[in-house]
Amino acid sequence: MSGKVAAFASYGVVLRNVQWSWSGITPSGEVVVTLWIDEFNYRDTPATYSNQNSRDFQEWVSSLGNLERIENLKIARDKHAGIFRVIVIKAVSETTYPRTIAEAYPRHNIIMRLVEFDENTGKFKAELVENAHRT
């Protein structure tokens, strides 16, 4: 089982497609989203995440992974007050596009909330809601 698949499985998520899915839904209906580690901003209070300035936007805007993530973020926004769970992913190279995943790990202690979301492009910004010390 790949790192990404195992990370999603730790939340009980079975991916729609192990190759291109970037998000999923838990059996209880929670949304889980992959977030690139280098797109977090810990200088903000609370910490934020944004893909709004992604250099490879044109590469992923029409991808199946992004289209599925848009649908899942709509669920987070409409049914869960914007709240979603996190899998942190690290790129093999942060400057090579399209990116490939070097590592993926669940962060059960991190809960994020959408604060900006363009459902036409999939660009979004989220803020840290909780960073509890749970396993």
Residue 3 reports pLDDT greater than 90? yes
How far apart are the C-alpha atoms of 34 and 9, rounded to whole Å?
Answer: 13
In the chain, % helix, strand, coil (3-state, to 5) comes to 20, 35, 40
Phi and psi at residue 67, in whole multiples of 5°? Answer: -60, -40
| 68-90 confidence digits (pLDDT tens) | 999 999 999 999 999 999 999 99
How far apart are the C-alpha atoms of 16 and 22, rounded to whole Å?
Answer: 10
Q: Using alpha carbons, select from 44, 127, 135, 59 the residue that is nearest to residue 91.
A: 59
Question: Would you state the pLDDT for residue 2?
Answer: 64
Read off the pTM. Answer: 0.92
Question: Would you state the pLDDT for residue 132?
Answer: 56
User: CB atoms < 10 A from the CB of 52, how many?
Assistant: 13
Region 84-107 average pLDDT:
93
In sequence order, which residues have a C-beta less than 8 Å from that of residue 47 and are 6 or more positions away? Answer: 40, 41, 127, 128, 131
Region 28-53 average pLDDT:
95
Mean pLDDT of the chain: 92
| 16-36 confidence digits (pLDDT tens) | 999 999 999 999 999 999 999
Q: Using pLDDT thresholds of 50, 70 and 90, give the confidence band for residue 42.
A: very high
Using left for φ > 0, alpha for ψ between -120 and 50, and beta otherwise, residue 55 falls in: alpha
Question: Would you state the pLDDT for residue 1?
Answer: 47
How far apart are the C-alpha atoms of 125 and 73, rounded to whole Å?
Answer: 11
